[in-house]
Structure 1
Amino acid sequence: MVHRKRSKLKKWVVGAAAVALIITSGCSNKPDSTEASTNGSGSGSEEPYELVYLTTGDQGAKPLVPNDRIVAEINKRLNIKLTVKIAPEFSYDKINVAIASGDLPDVVTTQYPSSSVSQWIREGILVPLNDYFDKLPTIKAKLDNGLQWTAVDGKYYGYPFVSGAEKSNYTVQFRQDWLDKLGLEHPKTLEEFHGTLKAIVEKDPDGNGKADTFGFVTNKPVAGEALTAFDFVLYAYGLPNSDYVLNDNGEVIPRFEHPAFKAGIEELRKWYDEKLIDPEFIVYDRPAKEQKFFQGKAGIMDGPLFRHVSRVEGSLKQVNPDGVLGYAPPPAGPDGKQGMAVRSKNALFTAVTNKAKNPEKAAQFIEFMLSKEGRDLLQLGIEGVHYTKQGDTITYNEAEREKDGFAANGWSHPLAWGNVTWPIDQNYLPQTEPNIERALDSVKVASKYFVPNLITRKTEAEIEYGKAVNEVYNQYFVNLLNGKLDVDQGIAELGEQWRQAGGDEILKQANEEYKNQGAGK
């Protein structure tokens, strides 16, 4: 959302482990009791409730600032005294360490489903929200609209936000200026894609006279997840589902045992042998991958667009003023098949812990973050201070917004994203977004190429053994890609090791789940 880098993170030490968190300083402003909002459960004479919120952040957000007026406004409206602790985006391990230490927050956001959340529910660490539904209309409506499967024995232990169910921003991105220089169109097929990669590597599009450019660069997966960055090639060869596939007997089996996986690996191995893929990708995180793209070390990458269009192209132009970002649908395979986007089975789960002395007030804080009132505050700020509105036209006061950590160019407050929603799910772009047409078009393009899941949700076995089997899969995928393993032998060994790491139990439950959901009907 923001086009600036985070400042250095402070350290929050939990027990013997150093957990990197941003902690608000001076953001727990005590509201004037006479101004306490009736939205809270208390009266104006009630002392503000001290509420600690531990959450994962947004990679693009600015840090929270001392004396933040948005936090102060939340305090006033809810009659609370809010302290926010933010772990870096996707750093769920830091959240888990914090909870394991016993130093619980009132409200926590983490990954779901996960073994940690299941354990917290079993141990009574999370408080059911059902008793407070009369004060949580937004949460209740969202739970009733397709999230009933998240209930445990009829009780909802938090709000699970599943992103990207109908829309995607995951695309193939490339240096449009390089393609123009080389006289190339957007590659529409795998054959054309391969040719484009070769041209980028061999024809010196950056004009520096050095063979120092790779065709494609990606990044390692988030910890515990499977490597999926090359899956668009597997889908081009006809892989029908993103999670599992069926064998000839109608049984659920691992997707890497489908013929399309072997065909895709053989194609990718050719790219790797021809030095078209950056071989160091497995050590890159997303920012490192993007830096390779910005610096002209690679001409094509995968990644999200929508709100990132301006950020990616802006960063590219900082290094090369003539750089132009392009994007396109995934390439089609020999039979015209294409795919790239998948519907995630993961969610962001925001819950109240048993540490909360006032669980109803803590639940109302989550409700506020989801409500229109809360979204308007976090996206726009305080009317008359951070923005003014005339009809449907919004004028952003950037000088005042900057004082409270709002991202530049009409983007939002640090608490706006990375907890209960993302911009794409809100269809949110500020009116000042300079690339609004391309941002919206990137979603339109990406959303055409969803690949279905065979199993609609994670089973308990997948939650328990998912990390272990994904580690096996990733190791074998990389070794198949770089030629350290024979393709047929490697896939066979992968099947054996994957099953031994928990895959047998995963397949057992996956087959049961498939039957329960009507055998795909």
Structure 2
Amino acid sequence: MNRKRFITLMVSMLATASALAGCGGGKSGSQGAEVQDNTPLEVTIATPQVGEAPPKGSEIEKAIEKYTNAKLDIQWIPSAAFEDKKNIMIASSEMPKAFKITSNATTLSAIQSGLFWEIGPLLKDYKNLSAVNPLYYENIKVDGKVYALPLFRDIGRAGITYRKDWFDELGIKPPVTLDDWYNVMKTVAEKDPDKNGQNDTYGMFLDKTYNDPAASSAYLTRLAVSQGAPNKWGVENGKLVPEFMTKPYADSMKLLRKLYQEKLINQDFSVVQSADADNKWNAGKVGIRINTVASAAATSQDNLRKAVPNGVVDVVSYAGASGVLVPAEPGNNGFYVFPKSSVKSEAELKRLLGFFDKLLDPEMSTLLTRGIEGKHFTKTDDGKAQFKDLSVFNLEVKPYRDSLPSFEVTGTGLPLKLTDLQAKGWQVVDENLKHVVPNVALTLNSKTYSDKGGELDTMIRDAQTKFIMGKIDEAGWQAEVDKWKKAGGDKIIEEYTAEYAKQQKK
């Protein structure tokens, strides 16, 4: 090839490459491998309303549109009406491109019927979506596949929030073993740490959610997991086993039974509301606050300060003889699915995933969790964000923060100015992530549980309370477990075990 033809060819190739680049290239997650249209992406979203719905074209919405090259149309649906509206939209196939839903029977049925795109194999192509802890996606799998993007919430939230001033005065430390728990409860209940001469303090104040069958945040589950029990469901010799059929869980129940018998915990725990337990803590009558999360330790301090200005609060992880062990929580506040009826092609799906990927960039993370500099927050001398007026933030920014994927404190955005106790609470949450115990049945299907789970859960829950209160002995408890097994429990174990084995082969 002569020199003139070579130069002509190179100029032609460069011109072509330049024209292609001008089309707005790359996969939506900024990968740059695929050429795509660079016109603003139409993003229609339906989500439950958080507080007052923001006005169309708000400052936050415009900032999101500009950064992501998107045109947003968010349908805010009042929370009370959302499930009915969701079911109507699914039945009519008139769904938005991104649909925020939660896990329940109708959601599972819709996913299994093929209404939504599978996105699991695509996630690796997006730098932010692929960087999050895999457990976030594991926790929302259906039949072993990922169909949704979670609204991220912390997975390892459990923490022991306690009165450090009392513990120091009494010469005790946060409990680790079950014997430690007993000694702490006895010491705080009997040694008058508030020095008022009355027998009115509690090591902990239980409420009726202590053994919630649905929540990994339930106190009895947290305690038992720290001692080596599974998180709701575990695996023994290839067979699924419920937490309450394991020794560490039984030992934890026996501890509560002993505490109840010796009047070291509140005798009305089976009927107490969570708000009443909160009030006892706030009044300065409780040594360990068990119905909260580690990241809220500073809030517990603030609430206590009104009644006990000099009270000192601290926070640590739940731990047992094997070290820190905490139950993994689902890690989401709902999730986004992408209906095939409105997202017509994989190319469009990839652009939508790119939109959500960009929301986790530092600039968008700051916008969604801090707002706009000068209006919602100011920057401190050490380069952190400090809220100017939380009421304005809650009105203008919080609806977006709570409805779009973001990490409030542990994300890539501008760090928040934290007090020492706030920082420690979030550090506990962060460290816990290395020590979480997953619920192995969280994404497994059981027809029997779908049909009868509620009544079977109630059967076991009532039996636990009777055992702790001394109304039945160990033989009586075992009889209740046997009754649960005959009423459908054995079938649930069988179905979960089969599902688990099937997933292990994939």
Structure 1 position 100, deviation (Å)? 3.0
**Matched residue, 2:419:** 434
Which residues of 2 match residues 65-104 of structure 1 at below 5 A?
69-74=59-64, 78-85=70-77, 87=79, 95-102=82-89
Structure 1 position 118, deviation (Å)? 1.2
Deviation readout 1:135-191 (Å, 9 max, x if unpaired) = x946864699674896769985421457556xx231122222222343433344332
Distance 1:231 1:130 in 2: 32
Structure 1 position 509, deviation (Å)? 3.0
Which residues of 2 match residues 102-117 of structure 1 at below 5 A?
102=89, 106=96, 107-112=98-103, 114-117=104-107
**Matched residue, 2:296:** 308
Is the 1:480–1:487 contact (alpha carbons within 8 Å) kept by the matching residues of 2? yes
Is the 1:406–1:413 contact (alpha carbons within 8 Å) kept by the matching residues of 2? yes
**Matched residue, 1:20:** none
Distance 1:64 1:175, change over 3 A: farther
**Matched residue, 1:505:** 491
Question: SS where residue 169 of structure 1 aligns?
Answer: coil
Which residues of 2 match residues 31-430 of structure 1 at below 5 A?
51-55=44-48, 69-74=59-64, 78-85=70-77, 87=79, 95-102=82-89, 106=96, 107-112=98-103, 114-122=104-112, 126-128=115-117, 137=126, 141=130, 147=137, 157-160=147-150, 163-164=153-154, 168-219=156-207, 220=209, 224-225=214-215, 228-235=218-225, 238-239=228-229, 242-246=232-236, 251-283=239-271, 288-330=276-318, 332=320, 336-337=321-322, 340-344=325-329, 347=332, 348-353=334-339, 366-383=356-373, 385-387=375-377, 393-394=383-384, 396=386, 398-399=388-389, 402-405=391-394, 413-417=398-402, 420-423=405-408, 426=411, 430=415
Is the 1:307–1:423 contact (alpha carbons within 8 Å) kept by the matching residues of 2? no
TM-score, normalised relative to structure 2? 0.71
Question: SS where residue 416 of structure 1 aligns?
Answer: helix
Distance 2:257 2:142 in 1: 45
- In structure 2, what residue type is equivalent to 1:96? E
- In structure 1, what residue type is equivalent to 2:487? Q
Q: Which runs of 5+ in 1 are unaligned?
A: 1-36, 88-92
Distance 1:250 1:52 in 2: 42
Structure 1 position 477, deviation (Å)? 1.7
Structure 1 position 482, deviation (Å)? 1.6
Is the 1:224–1:471 contact (alpha carbons within 8 Å) kept by the matching residues of 2? no
- In structure 1, what residue type is equivalent to 2:83? N
Larger Rg: 2
Pairs aligned (count): 456
Q: Which residue of the other structure, out of 421, 426, 444, is the alignment partner of 1:459?
A: 444
Is residue 2:481 matched to residue 1:494?
Answer: yes
% identity of equivalent residues: 21
Task: Tell me whether 299-308 or 147-156 shows the greater mean CA deviation.
Answer: 147-156
**Matched residue, 1:475:** 462
Structure 1 position 122, deviation (Å)? 4.4
Distance 1:440 1:477 in 2: 33
Distance 1:121 1:226, change over 3 A: same
Is the 1:52–1:85 contact (alpha carbons within 8 Å) kept by the matching residues of 2? no
Distance 1:234 1:172 in 2: 14
Is the 1:53–1:85 contact (alpha carbons within 8 Å) kept by the matching residues of 2? yes
- In structure 2, what residue type is equivalent to 1:69? E
Distance 1:132 1:237 in 2: 37
Is the 1:251–1:511 contact (alpha carbons within 8 Å) kept by the matching residues of 2? yes
Deviation readout 1:12-59 (Å, 9 max, x if unpaired) = xxxxxxxxxxxxxxxxxxxxxxxxx99999988x9x9694532486xx
**Matched residue, 1:18:** none
Q: Which runs of 5+ in 2 are unaligned?
A: 1-23, 30-35
Q: Name the Cα RMSD after superposition.
A: 4.6
Distance 1:382 1:100 in 2: 36
